[in-house]
């Protein structure tokens, strides 16, 4: 007889598949099984635990596009970090190269609603004219400089805002939760994103 019954399950390959040394996808390939090959099952099946990415719904601080931002990929790499240092301007104000009004030059105008990330290594300065100034990095273009946070009359120009993420690399923002959904826009490194909820 050419056929023999066996109690061990056999598997028939419907398509080419790699046989690996272990259950890890990164382990060495020991054989490439081809369609039609028959394999003897000696162990398993084993439940595979796939990594999951983390996404958060919100709005980009520049251009105010709404969508889902991937903050962590399936390998666990962080694409955008949560930051407690993001502030927003309540009205247009100047960013200067130094804190002293007498010797400063304009870096650029900060627009109302623009996001700034506090450079916490620099302490708050209180000019003789009154008010307070802090050093910030503009999330839109990465420019750094000093901004008046509180005017001499008590007007608050810059306020801290909660639930913000700062992109560490170019990161696509999708229209829906799934990765296959349309890309609304790509946020560049340093750009801020306001989350509606936790990832």
How high is the pLDDT of residue 51? 65
Residues spanned by CATH 2.30.30.40 within the chain? Answer: 86-160
Which one is predicted more confidently, 18 or 134? 134
Q: What is the mean pLDDT of residues 42-58?
A: 78
- Burial code (b: 16+ CB inside 10 Å, e: under 16) for 112-151 equals eebbbbbeeeeeebeeeeebbbbbbbbbbeeeebbbbbbe
Contact 136, 88 (CB under 8 A): no
Give the right CATH number for 86-160 from 2.60.15.10, 3.40.190.10, 3.60.21.10, 2.30.30.40: 2.30.30.40
How high is the pLDDT of residue 89? 93
Compute the distance between CA of residue 195 and CA of residue 164 in angstroms, rounded to an integer. 6
How high is the pLDDT of residue 62? 82
Q: How far is CA 13 from CA 5, 33, 40, 127, 147, in A?
A: 20, 7, 11, 76, 66
pLDDT digits (tens, 9 = 90+) for 63-94: 888 999 999 988 888 999 999 999 999 999 99
pLDDT digits (tens, 9 = 90+) for 135-152: 999 998 999 999 999 999
Q: What is the mean pLDDT of residues 181-198?
A: 90
């Amino acid at each position: 007889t050419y056929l023999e019954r066996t109690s061990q399950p056999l598997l028939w390959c419907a398509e080419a598949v790699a046989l690996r040394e272990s259950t890890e996808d990164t382990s060495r390939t020991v054989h490439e099984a081809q369609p039609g090959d028959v394999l003897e099952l000696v162990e398993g099946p084993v439940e595979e635990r796939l990594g999951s990415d983390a996404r958060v719904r919100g709005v980009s601080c520049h251009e105010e596009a709404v969508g889902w931002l991937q903050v962590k990929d399936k390998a666990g790499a962080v694409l955008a970090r949560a930051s407690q240092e993001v502030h927003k301007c309540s009205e247009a104000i100047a960013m200067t190269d130094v804190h002293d009004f007498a010797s400063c030059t304009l870096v650029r105008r900060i627009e109302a609603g623009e996001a700034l990330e506090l450079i916490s290594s620099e302490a708050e300065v209180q000019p003789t004219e009154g008010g307070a100034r802090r050093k910030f990095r503009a999330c839109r273009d990465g420019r750094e400089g000093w901004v008046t946070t509180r005017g001499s009359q008590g007007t608050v120009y810059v306020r801290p805002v909660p639930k913000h993420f700062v992109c560490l690399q170019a990161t696509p923002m999708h229209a829906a939760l799934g990765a296959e959904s349309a890309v609304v826009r790509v946020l560049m490194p340093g750009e801020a994103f306001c989350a509606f909820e936790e990832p």
